[in-house]
Structure 1
Amino acid sequence: MASSMVTPSQSPMPPRPNLALRRLRGQRSPAEFAAAVRRSAREIGERVSCDARYVGRVEAGEIRCPNYAYERVFLHMFPGRTLADLGFAPRASVRGRRTRTTADETQGTHDPYDTQDTHDPDETYDDYEESDVLRRAFMTGGGATVAAASLGPFGLATDAAAATPAATGAGRPLRRAGASQAGALEEAVRRIRLLDDRHGADGLYRRAAAPLRAAYALLDAGATRQTTVDRLHAGAGELAISVGWLAHDSGRFDDARSHYAEALATARVTDDDALEAHAFCNTAFLARDAGRPREAVRSAQAAQRVARPLGSARLMSLLALREAGGWAGLADRTGCEQALVRAQVLFERGTCDADPEWMSFYGEAELEGLEAQCWSALGDWRRAARHAHRAAELQDPHFTRNIALYTAELADDLARGGHPDEASAAGLRVLELLGEVQSSRIQTMLAGTARVLLPHRRASGVSAFLERHASTPRTA
């Protein structure tokens, strides 16, 4: 591997102003344009901390190419335009630049991908090529396959041992992590979520263990600035939850429980209420699916206690649904209905800036889908099917996995409710999606539906579903 050291230019070119984006800003002030960027980000499920200073840095040419999150937002804001049309340099042309300002570099030459407002001259950063290895983690290679790019610190092997001083060379101390590594870790979490939304967990989980080890190795490496340390802890915790969800959705419940516990411990160490609420939220969901409904209720209630001061009604709505799922598992219809009413009331309060980034999946479709699961657990198949049908209709096409999940729920509810032909039609729609979606959870649901439909196998529609289901390979 080539050395990570990049010799700075002896006479660097001054930043070139981005006149294209300045023209597109028009009469809006930098603050007004920044607000428009944040609104556009929310429209596509991104969260960016854009402010007037960031806009100023872009227009001054200090940020020659935006990070991937900002790229998606800008291209959404200005459809039909490329990064070049927006005044940015090609991504390849800015690789290899150092984020640290050295004595030989002029002031104002910043990491072209950095979105932070300040740079600590005492903090050690590695060059962009190293962080790009992190940023390319979990990039798709077609279908549900995932590139093998590692999230390992400093571009070394993904094994956790690679982050030890011994692995960096005899007598060489482990280099400290910087803002670029923290940003890369955050980007990897977003990548996992986006890929899971489209393809499900089974094709991702096996790739996720090494990046998670590397994320915690970054914590062990430490950082000079406390803000970077906090970001690393939050990023590692969110990555643990994401990997836990991949284990959960692929049927590895013990692994999922371990990852969620790791995230919870990370949250407790740093007094991160948002991370703790997220960890409890997923723990409640896992407990419900694993047949521990009382634990699901307790975990959801703990999450609500932690999350209440955070100011997100949508988060509290989701946590009420997690509690409702636990009550349904306990066959407590009253407790479930009360939690469902709270979830609806809170949901109707709308979104706000306090909503966590990871909740981009939670819209009306997910609300309907989770309610369907509650009524299904209570044996009210007609009501469950109605909500599952609405969930599938309302879901954004981006969330392919969720469309398959809601349709599988619909098929099962229809089958158990005595509508075999409609159930088979819904089941066939799910099978069409399984070429793109790999989720053991969905496959298990379909297998249950097939068993329920076996007594009706002579019906033409049911026969077609059962034959197609029997010939569909299961994910290992």
Structure 2
Amino acid sequence: MASPHASSSPRPNTAFRELRGQRSPGEFAAAVRRAGREIGEHVSCDARYVGRVESGEIRCPNYAYERVFRHMFPGREPADMGFAPRETVRGRGARKKGSAPPGQSESPAESRTSPPRRSGSGRRPDGTDDSNDGHKESDVLRRAFMTSGTAVVAAASLGAAAPGARTRRRAGEPEARAVENAVRQIRLLDDRHGADGLYRRAARPLKAAYELLDAQTRRQSVADRLHAGAGELAISVGWLAHDSGRFSDARSHYAEALATARVAGDPALEAHAFCNTAFLARDAGRPREAVRAAQAAQRAGRRLGSARLMSLLTLREAGGWARLGDRAACEEALLRARTLFGRGPAGSDPEWMTFFGEAELEGLEAQCRSALGDWRRAAEHAERAVDLQDPHFARNIALYTAQLAGDLARAGSPDAAAAAASRALDLLEEVQSSRVRTMLTATARLLRRHAADPEVSAFLARHEPAVRAV
């Protein structure tokens, strides 16, 4: 009899889903991180990881996660949590069966970059780093992306048929999963390091993903996943362009994603593409287009049953109204967004929205208040955003801190502004974001008139070489 773990597609892990109970994936991920800290394990679990376990994509956790889960659920073995035996997933036992398993024991970044665990600070068992050497971690993670993201998708697409061959290319479950993994890897690296060092690297998996759309597929479900994955990848690459200041490239990638959504009849992808288009239009100085795109995103998003998604889309609309100087419309949209956010998370919340928690809500309101000239209120929201943000989202912490510095400078608090700007400079050792550097440069210009202040002088002395060096 065939092993139940030998099927060609992942089986949902219903046992693990039951353990999560009524908690959202994000709330459960936070509980996993807390449990890890209780026993000295540093796991950067997020809602994406929880989703991959529950979908069956991760069939067996790595050793660090296993120890955390055993701590969380005393008396339960991994099998009781729905996991496959380790020997059937990787290592000699798996290889002797003659083929790679359809699932995996951990994410590509985890399995390819984690050396043996060291005591104290150092390499985390899930492929991230507790040390202060952000550049080393960045290099390791980018190598993981190049080997397990780009290469996998490119091989799945470009290697499906030799140049000039008459054989039609085929795409199935492995190719769909490769595209989805590339999206997740890009998002993970962007969360921790920002966009600047990733954009050029991401072009190759995007090209490969779109070539897969021309491949022959046996099942409509695979074709749908390929379209959704390619569209999400276009949005992710578009965001890398957007955050690194390449607005025309970003606009092209978002338009490509929107076209893919329309072809596939995918309202979730359409809402996401319009969401990012609205954000880009706001940043590019086209606030009326931002409002229209955000409203189009809401029309698509209403069919999805996610209050949190509608909250974010409404905040995109608020950002456009703020840039137009329409205080009444902005206030109304902000109130609507908070009401929707208050309805809580749901199973229908899109996977890409793992960044959207209370911290992002506060951060986006800070941006609106700042655009309206309410510097003090903007600073209050930005400070709350910094305090509430999960440490995993290093890029967002840098962004909120830079926002706080600018708002404090404009509100007439140069000392506090310089202190916040200095903290943001510290974060630039790990995060590479043109957006953050541009914000800090604007703050430095505002603070030059206060250069006699010791705190301001110290920041200005650090600013130019630090920004130039990144």
CA gap 1:475/1:367 in 2 versus in 1, 3 angstroms:
farther
Contact 2:160/2:170, CA 8 A, preserved across alignment: no
Determine the C-alpha separation between the residues in 2 that align with 1:428 and 1:408: 9
Q: Does residue 1:399 correspond to 2:393, yes or no?
A: yes
Stretch of structure 1 that moved more, 238-247 or 142-151: 142-151
Look up the match of 1:460. Answer: 454
Structure 1 unaligned regions, length at least 5: 1-12, 19-29, 56-62, 100-109, 116-130
Q: Does residue 1:390 correspond to 2:384, yes or no?
A: yes
Deviation at 1:98, TM superposition (A): 7.1
1:227 aligned counterpart, secondary structure: helix
Which residue identity is paired with 1:183?
R
CA gap 1:191/1:465 in 2 versus in 1, 3 angstroms:
same
Contact 2:24/2:346, CA 8 A, preserved across alignment: no
Matches within 5 A, 1:323-338: 323-338=317-332
Stretch of structure 1 that moved more, 329-338 or 84-93: 84-93
Deviation at 1:357, TM superposition (A): 0.5
Deviation at 1:172, TM superposition (A): 4.8
Determine the C-alpha separation between the residues in 2 that align with 1:229 and 1:418: 56
Query: Per-residue CA shift, 1:249-269, capped at 9, x if unaligned?
Result: 111111100100000000000
Look up the match of 2:407. Answer: 413
Matches within 5 A, 1:331-410: 331-410=325-404
CA gap 1:310/1:370 in 2 versus in 1, 3 angstroms:
same
Larger Cα-atom Rg: 1
Q: Does residue 1:66 correspond to 2:59, yes or no?
A: yes
Matches within 5 A, 1:115-194: 142-145=136-139, 146-147=142-143, 148-149=146-147, 151=149, 162=158, 165=161, 168-194=162-188
Deviation at 1:371, TM superposition (A): 0.1
Residue in structure 2 matching 1:254, options 248, 255, 258:
248
Contact 1:243/1:259, CA 8 A, preserved across alignment: yes
Structure 2 unaligned regions, length at least 5: 7-12, 30-45, 114-126, 129-134
Which residue identity is paired with 2:237?
V
Q: Does residue 1:245 correspond to 2:247, yes or no?
A: no
Which residue identity is paired with 1:356?
P
Determine the C-alpha separation between the residues in 2 that align with 1:475 and 1:290: 26
Residue in structure 2 matching 1:36, options 12, 16, 19:
19
Deviation at 1:187, TM superposition (A): 1.5
CA gap 1:153/1:456 in 2 versus in 1, 3 angstroms:
closer
Determine the C-alpha separation between the residues in 2 that align with 1:335 and 1:203: 37
Deviation at 1:306, TM superposition (A): 0.7
Query: Per-residue CA shift, 1:385-421, capped at 9, x if unaligned?
Result: 0000000001011111111110100000000111000
2:213 aligned counterpart, secondary structure: helix
Deviation at 1:83, TM superposition (A): 8.1
Which residue identity is paired with 1:248?
H
Contact 2:153/2:209, CA 8 A, preserved across alignment: no
Contact 2:153/2:208, CA 8 A, preserved across alignment: no
CA gap 1:156/1:247 in 2 versus in 1, 3 angstroms:
closer
Determine the C-alpha separation between the residues in 1 that align with 2:282 and 2:438: 16
Matches within 5 A, 1:184-333: 184-333=178-327
Contact 1:152/1:215, CA 8 A, preserved across alignment: no
Determine the C-alpha separation between the residues in 2 that align with 1:239 and 1:96: 35
TM value normalised by structure 2: 0.78
Look up the match of 1:25. Answer: none
Contact 1:40/1:73, CA 8 A, preserved across alignment: no
Residue in structure 2 matching 1:77, options 45, 69, 92:
69
Look up the match of 2:103. Answer: 113
CA gap 1:207/1:95 in 2 versus in 1, 3 angstroms:
farther
Query: Per-residue CA shift, 1:146-188, capped at 9, x if unaligned?
Result: 1232756877569x8x3685xx155352431111111121122
Which residue identity is paired with 1:220?
D
Which residue identity is paired with 2:18?
A
Determine the C-alpha separation between the residues in 1 that align with 2:153 and 2:97: 16
1:287 aligned counterpart, secondary structure: helix
Q: Does residue 1:48 correspond to 2:51, yes or no?
A: yes
Which residue identity is paired with 2:361?
L
Query: Per-residue CA shift, 1:419-471, capped at 9, x if unaligned?
Result: 00000000110111111100000000000000000101111000000011112
Determine the C-alpha separation between the residues in 2 that align with 1:17 and 1:302: 43
CA gap 1:202/1:426 in 2 versus in 1, 3 angstroms:
same
Determine the C-alpha separation between the residues in 2 that align with 1:393 and 1:455: 29
Look up the match of 2:90. Answer: 91
Deviation at 1:236, TM superposition (A): 0.5
CA gap 1:313/1:96 in 2 versus in 1, 3 angstroms:
farther
1:349 aligned counterpart, secondary structure: coil
Look up the match of 1:439. Answer: 433
Contact 1:408/1:445, CA 8 A, preserved across alignment: yes
Determine the C-alpha separation between the residues in 1 that align with 2:319 and 2:469: 27
TM value normalised by structure 1: 0.78
Deviation at 1:32, TM superposition (A): 5.5
Query: Per-residue CA shift, 1:276-310, capped at 9, x if unaligned?
Result: 00000000001001110000000000000110121
Determine the C-alpha separation between the residues in 2 that align with 1:154 and 1:361: 26
Aligned length: 411
User: Over aligned residue pairs, what C-alpha RMSD do you find?
Assistant: 3.5
Deviation at 1:35, TM superposition (A): 2.5
Look up the match of 2:40. Answer: none
Query: Per-residue CA shift, 1:107-156, capped at 9, x if unaligned?
Result: xxx944189xxxxxxxxxxxxxxx989x979x889433312327568775
